[in-house]
Amino acid sequence: MTTSSDISLESIAFDHERVVMVTGERSGLPIIVAVHSTVLGQALGGARVWSYPHWTDALTDALRLSEGMTLKNAAAGLARGGGKSVVCLPLGATLTDAEKRNAMLDLGDAVESLGGSYMTAEDVGTSAELMSIVAERTAHVVGLPPEEGGVGEPADATAAGVHASILATLEALFGTRDLAGRHLVISGLGQVGGRLARSLTAGGARLSVADVNPARKELADELGAAWVGIDEALTLEADLLVPCGLGGVLTSDVIRNLRVRGVVGAANNQLAHVEQAAELAERGILWAPDFVVNAGGVIYLAMASEPGADAAAIDERVATIGETVAQVFRDAAAAGTTTLDAALALARARLEA
């Protein structure tokens, strides 16, 4: 399996507004903050703490993820630009609590140095509690714990948006949104994948699930889901593949061996290269573009952090992700293009407007 860090820097068109890379004063770790666009407003995107073979892989991830945030926020209709931050760990490294604190303080300094053009939040490897440490060094952070007056983590909203997208994809493929009896394969049972597994099971879906963490088999057993290997998950015959782990999973080799009718999930940057969108279409596999599907979290963070935030209005806005996915499918069919092209057109129209 590949990840987004397997993509070389040479394959990325650099059109970012600003990229800051520093060695953390306290942690000694490479810290990258990439601001792709502020055309629609302050850039918003999470902070990722992850292990990479080399710092250039972390930079590649930050560049790709920040561009994805620009598209995600635009397609979601938010007055926000796109950015991302990455704290680069050596392969196999783990941080003590003290080391995590130092890394978050360094991240806060890096964010603050951008003068408000970028707001960070939790992402893979971080949490609401870690964001409260970032907040000691900058005000440009969202998603702090509720007990500290923050809005908390956005995983519930992300999972709700993916769930709505799955229903829209089922309707496009089978003419019904009914989950009962549908076989779905979830790869990745983290914060979002685990929540999604629960909601899909409650809707009557039959699940096969995989995760690199064997401890998550407990959730599979609790839900009555079949536990399979990570590689096996990509070759099972099912209705939908739901990737909820790291990106880059849809390589040409994987696509050739898929035995599903559609792919819709929470993972960012699911395509190893943009060409894979056409390869999926050629095989008749309906792909719901990731930056549309997984926008629930950023919608929640953007709306919940505003004065007078209305929980019901946020839930309603997240639910409209399913309608956006359905519109992307219709636009792609009408224009004879890939779903990626249709989603990009949707996002770019708002950016250009």
Closest Cα to residue 302, out of 119, 138, 131, 70? 119
Chain-centroid distance of CA 179 in Å reads 23
CA distance 219 to 292: 27
Identify whether the C-beta of residue 326 lies closer than 8 Å to the C-beta of residue 165.
no
Closest Cα to residue 46, out of 199, 155, 182, 204? 155
CA distance 138 to 135: 5
Chain-centroid distance of CA 225 in Å reads 23
What are the strands of the beta sheet with 183-187, ordered from one edge?
226-227, 206-210, 183-187, 240-243, 262-263, 286-287
Closest Cα to residue 329, out of 80, 321, 160? 321
Q: What does the block give as tokens for 43?
A: 């850039």
**180 Cβ partners below 8 Å, 6+ apart?**
203, 204, 205
Eight-class DSSP state of 275: T
Which residues are tagged catalytic?
Answer: 84
Sign of the Cα pseudo-torsion (243, 248, 249, 250, in order): positive
CA distance 50 to 328: 32
Q: Which residues pair with 34 in a beta bridge?
A: 19, 84
Which contiguous run of DSSP H or E holds residue 64?
helix 55-75
Q: Which residue has tokens 């991830």? A: 61
CA distance 228 to 246: 17
